[in-house]
């Protein structure tokens, strides 16, 4: 199971960069077990966003957000409401966020950092992959993970090695991640996102799961059970 932590609300509001109307998506799988993506957590996130002046138009917890078919089915009745928002905030693991970004094809912002596999890998059929970097960059990359989709894990733009849209490393099988990111942003009319100030630096310390969480196979669930009393 993928273990996630909620990003601070200020970081999420920073991603919105002035967007005022959002929809929240959560996940009843690993994210709910991690205490980040279930219904109570979405309600809490909605309150935090409201306090920061962001209108939450609606929220939906999908059974497994890593399953694109389930996302498609879940959002079908919500199509109209989704059209009326500036963006969608997704509170789950990197794979769920990438899957939502692909299915919805609108601006999607991550509300979580993915910390670890927690011993057992969730099952999914899609091509999305997450490296549990603990510092989710998906907001800056149109919901395409630069750490798994780019052969050099480049977070500040392409390397210049792409040829005919293919990555220099495995041109037969791998499209240049930044090519795909660019195309998606162009389609969404959001290329300016790439012009945002600031240079990303990967923080590898965040790839090590927090000390108190290490040492047990099912530590995420254990932790949640332990913490249960405090909530």
Tell me which residues touch other proteins (CB under 8 A). Answer: 151-165, 168-170, 178-179, 182, 191, 194-195, 197, 199-202, 204
163 contact, one of ligand SF4, other proteins, none, CB 5-8 Å limit per kind: other proteins
41 contact, one of ligand SF4, other proteins, none, CB 5-8 Å limit per kind: none
Q: Rule CB under 6 A: say whether 208 interacts with ligand SF4.
A: no
Cβ nearer to ligand SF4, comparing 23 with 137 = 137
Give me the least distance between CB of 50 and ligand SF4, in Å please: 25
Residue 223: count other Cβ atoms within 10 Å of its Cβ. 18
Distances (CA, A) of 196 to 94, 155, 173, 183, 192: 22, 13, 30, 17, 7
Q: Which 134-163 positions form the footprint of ligand SF4 (CB under 6 A)? A: 136-138, 145, 147-148, 150-152, 154, 158-159, 161-162
CA distance 153 to 117: 19
Cβ nearer to ligand SF4, comparing 75 with 177 = 177
Q: Rule CB under 6 A: say whether 194 interacts with ligand SF4.
A: no
133 contact, one of other proteins, ligand SF4, none, CB 5-8 Å limit per kind: ligand SF4
Distances (CA, A) of 100 to 41, 142, 204, 209: 18, 11, 26, 25
Cβ nearer to ligand SF4, comparing 55 with 186 = 186
- The string of DSSP letters for 82-122 reads HHTSSEEEEES-HHHHHHHHHHH-S-EEE-EEEEE-TTSPP
Q: Which of 5, 11, 168, 222 binds ligand SF4 (CB under 6 A)?
A: 168
CA distance 16 to 10: 10
Residue 201: count other Cβ atoms within 10 Å of its Cβ. 9
Q: Rule CB under 6 A: say whether 207 interacts with ligand SF4.
A: no
84 contact, one of ligand SF4, other proteins, none, CB 5-8 Å limit per kind: none
Q: If you ran DSSP here, which 8-state letter would residue 188 be given? A: T
Contact at 8 Å (CB) between 146 and 154? yes
Distance of CA 80 to the CA centre of its chain: 23
Cβ nearer to ligand SF4, comparing 57 with 193 = 193
Give me the least distance between CB of 175 and ligand SF4, in Å please: 7
CA distance 82 to 72: 12
CA distance 223 to 214: 10
> Interface residues with ligand SF4 (CB under 6 A)?
94, 113-114, 130-133, 136-138, 145, 147-148, 150-152, 154, 158-159, 161-162, 167-169, 176-178
């Amino acid at each position: 199971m993928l273990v996630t932590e909620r990003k601070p609300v200020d970081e999420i509001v920073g991603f919105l960069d002035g967007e005022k109307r959002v929809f929240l998506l959560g996940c009843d799988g690993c994210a709910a077990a991690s205490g980040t993506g279930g219904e109570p957590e979405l309600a809490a996130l909605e309150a935090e966003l409201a306090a920061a002046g962001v209108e939450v138009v609606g929220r939906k917890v999908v059974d497994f957000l890593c399953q694109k078919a389930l996302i498609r089915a879940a959002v079908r009745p919500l199509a109209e409401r989704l059209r009326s928002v500036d963006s969608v905030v997704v509170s789950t693991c990197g794979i769920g966020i990438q899957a939502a970004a692909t299915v919805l094809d609108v601006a999607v912002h991550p509300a979580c950092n993915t910390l670890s596999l927690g011993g057992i890998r969730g099952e999914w059929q899609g091509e999305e992959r997450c490296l549990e970097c603990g510092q989710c960059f998906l907001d800056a990359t149109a919901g395409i993970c630069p750490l798994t989709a780019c052969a050099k894990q480049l977070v500040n733009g392409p390397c210049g090695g792409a040829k005919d849209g293919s990555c220099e490393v495995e041109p037969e099988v791998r499209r240049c991640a930044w090519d795909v990111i660019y195309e998606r942003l162009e389609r969404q009319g959001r290329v300016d996102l790439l012009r945002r100030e600031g240079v990303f630096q990967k923080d590898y310390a965040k790839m090590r799961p927090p000390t108190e969480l290490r040492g047990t196979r099912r530590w995420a669930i254990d932790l949640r059970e332990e913490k249960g009393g405090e909530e």
